[in-house]
């Protein structure tokens, strides 16, 4: 058994066992794993994060998966990440348990002032209580790619950030009797 056996057996296939990414939009997914770690970002070479792996309910060649990053290296990032995690927990709770889950959130995070401590508690909560739970992935492939293996994790079916701008442009174009053009080239001399 060599280190590259899995790669050599699948030359020409998408890397990662053939798992596919997600198209543009919001997708219901399952949380598969969560890991607290440091990640290099533009602003911080050692940002404190939780990487969450999610997948849809597909099987074999139809399985799609993605990585979502929850940021804890700033107060704002930590607050947003905790809101998402607790929101997912509430979303997955039965109606009779939602208030209990909200109280658990207050007990776990109510007195924390350190984003790294919040990250560590959140990672444990994700790993211990949320594997296999439903959440939402917002996927926005970059450039000319049609799918992505990275996305934003939410507790509700959030609208992709670019969707509003796209919808606004389409509404204006329709009002003016035109259409939105993807690839437009100016004629020479203009």
C-alpha–C-alpha distance, residues 125 and 142, integer Å: 31
Would you call 154 helix, strand, or coil by DSSP?
A: strand
For the ranges 57-61, 141-145, 183-187, the maximum mean pLDDT occurs at 141-145
Q: What is the pTM of this model?
A: 0.74
Residue partners of 147: CB distance under 8 A and separation at least 6? 20, 21, 22, 23, 64, 139, 141
Number of C-alpha atoms within 13 angstroms, CB side, residue 111? 1
Q: Measure CA 141 to chain center.
A: 12
C-alpha–C-alpha distance, residues 171 and 179, integer Å: 9
**Residue written as tokens 């959140």?**
122
What digits encode the pLDDT tens for the residues 136-178?
999 999 888 898 999 999 999 887 776 545 455 555 556 555 5
Would you call 78 helix, strand, or coil by DSSP?
A: helix
Residue ranges in 44-129 assigned as alpha helix (H): 75-92, 98-109, 115-129
What digits encode the pLDDT tens for the residues 88-98?
999 999 999 99
């Amino acid at each position: 058994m060599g280190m590259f056996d899995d790669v050599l057996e699948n030359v020409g296939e998408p890397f990662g066992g053939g798992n596919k990414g997600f198209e543009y939009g919001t997708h219901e997914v399952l949380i598969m794993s969560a890991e607290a770690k440091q990640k290099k970002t533009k602003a911080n070479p050692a940002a404190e994060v939780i990487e969450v792996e999610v997948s849809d309910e597909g099987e074999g060649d139809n399985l799609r998966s993605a990585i979502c990053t929850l940021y804890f290296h700033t107060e704002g990032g930590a607050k947003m990440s905790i809101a998402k995690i607790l929101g997912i927990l509430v979303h997955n709770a039965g109606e009779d348990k939602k208030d209990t889950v909200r109280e658990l959130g207050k007990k776990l995070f109510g007195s924390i002032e350190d984003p790294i401590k919040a990250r560590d508690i959140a990672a444990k909560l994700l790993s211990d209580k949320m594997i296999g739970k439903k959440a939402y992935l917002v996927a926005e492939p970059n450039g000319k790619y049609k799918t992505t293996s990275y996305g934003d994790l939410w507790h509700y079916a959030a609208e992709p950030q670019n969707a509003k701008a796209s919808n606004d442009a389409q509404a204006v174009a329709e009002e003016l009797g035109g259409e939105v053009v993807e690839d437009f080239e100016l004629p020479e001399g203009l």
